[in-house]
Structures are given as structure tokens and as C-alpha cells.
Amino acid sequence: MLALKQALSIVSTQALGGSWQPSDETGLEAWYKFNTGITLNGSDVARWADSSSNSFDMAQATASKQPAYNSGAIDFDASATQSLQTASDILLSGAFTIGIKLFPALNNVIVLGDNTINNEFFKITNSTQLRFKTDGSQVDITVNDGDLKADNYLVITRNASNLVTLYVNGVAQTDTETLAGTANIDAIGVRNPNTNAYDGTISEIQIFETESTALTANVNTYLSNI
């Protein structure tokens, strides 16, 4: 029991800024870090810089489509089709891990997607269902423990066998699905063509092109402390 407590303490310390950071992972593709790398246009967000070394900065030149800045979180308004977009796609062709801290206000909203290619997105369909679509195929993961339309941290993983698993606030959901194909991402909050705009806040996004038990645990613990 003492060893277990010590291990949990170590993971917690790492997530709070100790020895583990997303940037330590060689598989880190993009990191939109809480309250970091944000360029404001007045009180709105014009750019959210990528804290990885890959420069997938998310930006919005149109003022009316710039989400608001809200105490470190990015606050999107679906009625204005607000979004942030990067000039080049993040490509996830195999295993991946995506961690997100968010609080959606509506159902049927895109969290991550591609606004230049059809049928590429991660969408909160309703309070108990997350849809992952790529290359024209889709899977719906049903939540058995939690409510997606709430203040949550989500971790979505796909392993080498294309098994897709959703964690809600650190809890792996019973429903798992299988979906191959390359996930293209170039936008936060919208998909092609400017459809299903996100409404609510997003505080952090971590995207890795790898998947492992250790990485999943670290991402979950890190997000739990935001």
C-alpha cells in the first residue's frame, strides 16, 4: 500500500509541473497549453501558439470569429462560428493519444476537426456520445460513467490495433470501438465547411502520435490538475 501511495504521489507531482511534461514525449505533435501562448485582440483570442516544437499554431484572422479569453480558457460562441485554425494539418495515421480539458455548453459540437477536408473530426454528439470520424468512416463511443456536457477532461486513445478508447475524468469507458485511417486536424471548434461550431470553453489540448498505458496515465493526471 505504501508503494502504491508513493507511485500516485510521483504521478501527481509530475502532472503539476515536476518531472513529467507533455513536451518530454517524443511523440508530442501539438500542445495548446492552458493560459500559455495566447495572443489577444482586445479580449478575444487571435492565436493560440503550439507549445510543442512543431509550430502547429492555431489562429483566427477574422475578428468576429475569434473566441473570447476567459480566465485562461478559450470561450467559443457557436452562433458566431468561432474557431482557431492552423495552416498545415496534424496527421495521425496510427496510434494516438489526445487529451482535452473542456466545458461544452451545447451538444452536436466539434472539438477538433479539419476545415479543409470532409469527414475528419472529433465531435460531442450529445451528453453521452463522442463521435470520431475519419476517411468517411465513423465510430460513436457511448459514455457509461459521466456527462460529456460538463466540466471534464477527456483522453481519447487509439492503439496499434486501431482500438479507440475514451476516458472521462480518468475513467475508461466500457464502450470501445475500432477505426483505422488518418485523422486530419487543422481546426479547433469547427469542421469543413464551417459546420457544427463548438460552444463552451476549451482550456488545454495535448496531441500525441503515440499511445501507451504510461502516457495515458500521465495525461489524465496532468489534466486533472488544470
CATH class name, domain 22-224? mainly beta
Handedness of CA 172, 178, 184, 188 (dihedral sign): negative
Q: What average pLDDT score do residues 17-22 get?
A: 79
Q: What is the pLDDT at residue 8? A: 39
pLDDT tens digits, 99-143: 999 999 999 999 999 999 999 999 999 999 999 999 989 999 999
* C-alpha cell of residue 156: 481519447
Tell me, what's the pLDDT at 6?
A: 37
Rounded Cα–Cα distance for residues 193 and 153 (Å): 27
By the 8 A CB rule, do 49 and 37 touch? Answer: yes
Measured between alpha carbons, how far is residue 138 from residues 23, 28, 122 in Å? 30, 24, 10
pLDDT at 19: 85
pLDDT attached to residue 18 = 58
d(CA 181, CA 86): 21
pTM of the entire predicted model: 0.92
Percent of the chain with pLDDT over 70: 92
Contacts of 65 (CB under 8 A, 6+ apart): 80, 81, 82, 83
Q: Give Cβ neighbours of residue 158 (< 8 Å, ≥ 6 apart).
A: 92, 94, 95, 96, 164, 165, 179, 211
pLDDT at 69 > cutoff 70: yes
Q: What are the tens digits of pLDDT across the range 81-99?
A: 999 999 999 999 999 999 9
CA-angle at 62, arms to 61 and 63, nearest 5°: 105
Domain spans of the chain, in order of start: 22-224
**pLDDT, tens digit, 9 for 90 and up, residues 186-215:** 999 999 999 999 999 999 999 999 999 999
Judged by phi (left if over 0) then psi (alpha if -120 to 50, else beta), residue 26 lies in: alpha
Q: What percent of the chain has pLDDT over 90?
A: 91
Q: Which residue has 502504491 as its cell numbers? A: 4
- Rounded CA-CA distance 3/81 in Å is 50
Name 195's bridge partners. Answer: 191
